[in-house]
A = this chain, B = another copy of it.
Amino acid sequence: MARKLYELVGAEDDRRFSPYCWRSRMALAHKGLEAESVPWHFTDTDAIKFSGQGRVPVLVDGDKTVFDSWNIATYLEDRYPDKPSLFDGLTSRAMAGFFNSWVDTTVHPALIGVILMDVYDHLGAADQAYFRKSREERFGTTLEAFVADGPAKLAAFRQALQPARITLAKQPYLGGVGPQYVDYILFGAFQWARAISPQHLLEADDPIVPWRARLLDAHGGLAGNAKGYPV
Stretch at the interface among A13-21, A57-65, A92-100: A92-100
B163 close to A102 (CB less than 8 A): yes
- The SS class assigned to the A binding surface is helix
Copies of this chain assembled into the complex: 2
- 29 A–B contacts from the bound complex (CB under 8 Å): A87-B91, A88-B91, A89-B89, A89-B91, A90-B176, A90-B177, A91-B92, A91-B176, A91-B180, A92-B92, A94-B174, A94-B175, A95-B95, A95-B96, A95-B175, A95-B182, A98-B99, A98-B163, A98-B164, A98-B167, A98-B174, A101-B162, A101-B163, A101-B164, A102-B102, A102-B163, A105-B163, A106-B162, A106-B163
Residues of A within 8 A of B (CB): 87-99, 101-102, 104-106, 162-164, 166-167, 170-171, 173-177, 180, 182
